[in-house]
């Protein structure tokens, strides 16, 4: 299993994400993803979150709806650092073929900016607020953050939300958002996550979206937030 972890890490280093397919339905994904760090509580304080359509908010642009979700990084609005890695385990994909997930490499985008622009991203704070779908289930969090910060190891954390991010200098943020969305359209990688597959990505680096809506309301993924990266990989063992 250590070999599988090494292959996954190489893929994540190279492209920011990895999709592991054809796993057995009883694959212990919770233990597996802990090789990347400890699990972080979700909005309801549980260590895993069901990404499923919730009656009454199907049009919400979040994990509980069935419509497209615009590009964002995960948990941008939290007070603490967002999860370093995200994992999605697919129990039941949308049989209609929708519910695709798209990624764009935020670090690559940052390389396209001038030194002055990048410097500004570490200085100007914006208010990041929970998406409206979450507010419908009484999750309403808002905190100010710079678009770029660093974690304790000096790694860049890129926070992005297409519909949030408000502050005084809106001219800059409107232009920044336009530039990023243009980059996203030109460079996004879209995938369909099949049953019994595990998707892991670097949330400090990658911006993700649900790039297509779906009609199969049985679609069911499980989401895990992984707090911090570990320098060394440990030997995998089943529970
Ligand atoms: Fe998300």
Domains of the chain and any CATH numbers: 2-226 (3.60.130.10)
Ligand 1 geometric centre to CA of 210 (Å): 8
Identify the CA nearest to 101 among candidates 177, 208, 215: 208
Report pLDDT for 168. 65
Ligand 1 geometric centre to CA of 72 (Å): 6
Ligand 1 geometric centre to CA of 86 (Å): 9
Ligand 1 geometric centre to CA of 221 (Å): 12
Distance CA 14, CA 78 (A): 28
Ligand 1 geometric centre to CA of 209 (Å): 7
Ligand 1 geometric centre to CA of 203 (Å): 9
Ligand 1 geometric centre to CA of 192 (Å): 15
Ligand 1 geometric centre to CA of 148 (Å): 18
pLDDT in tens, 16-25: 999 999 999 9
Average of pLDDT values for 214-230?
A: 91
Q: Is the dihedral of CA 189, 128, 147, 166 positive or negative?
A: positive
Ligand 1 geometric centre to CA of 57 (Å): 16
Whole-angstrom CA distances from 38 to 32, 76, 145, 212 are 11, 19, 23, 31
Residue 232: pLDDT band by 50, 70, 90 thresholds? very low
Q: What are phi and psi of 135, to 5 degrees?
A: -65, -25
Ligand 1 geometric centre to CA of 222 (Å): 12
pLDDT in tens, 52-106: 999 888 988 889 999 999 999 999 999 999 999 999 999 999 999 999 999 999 9
Ligand 1 geometric centre to CA of 202 (Å): 12
Using the predicted structure, report yes or no on whether residue 176 has a pLDDT greater than 70.
Answer: yes
- Looking at the DSSP assignment, which residues form a beta bridge with residue 125? 146
Distance, C-alpha 36 to centroid of its chain: 15
H/E stretch holding 225: strand 220-226
Ligand 1 geometric centre to CA of 152 (Å): 23
């Amino acid at each position: 299993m250590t070999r599988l972890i090494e292959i996954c890490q190489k893929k994540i280093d190279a492209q920011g994400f990895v999709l592991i397919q054809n796993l057995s339905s009883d694959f212990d994904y919770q233990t597996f993803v802990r090789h990347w760090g400890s699990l972080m509580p979700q909005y309801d304080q549980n260590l895993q979150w069901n990404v499923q359509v919730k009656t009454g908010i199907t049009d919400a642009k979040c994990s509980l709806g069935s419509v497209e979700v615009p590009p964002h990084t995960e948990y941008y609005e939290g007070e603490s650092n967002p999860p370093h890695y995200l994992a999605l385990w697919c129990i039941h994909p949308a049989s209609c073929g929708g519910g695709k997930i798209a990624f764009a490499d935020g670090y690559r985008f940052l390389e396209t900016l001038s030194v002055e622009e990048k410097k500004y991203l570490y200085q100007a704070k914006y208010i990041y607020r929970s998406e409206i779908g979450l507010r419908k289930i009484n999750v309403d969090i808002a905190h100010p953050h710079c678009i770029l910060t660093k974690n304790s190891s000096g790694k860049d954390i890129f926070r992005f939300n297409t519909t949030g991010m408000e502050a005084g200098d809106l001219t800059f943020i409107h232009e920044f958002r336009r530039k990023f969305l243009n980059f996203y359209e030109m460079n996004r990688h879209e995938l369909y996550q099949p049953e019994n597959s595990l998707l892991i990505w670097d949330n400090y680096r990658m911006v993700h979206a649900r790039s297509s809506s779906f009609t199969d309301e049985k679609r069911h993924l499980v989401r895990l937030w992984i707090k911090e990266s570990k320098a060394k990989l440990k030997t995998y063992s089943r529970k």
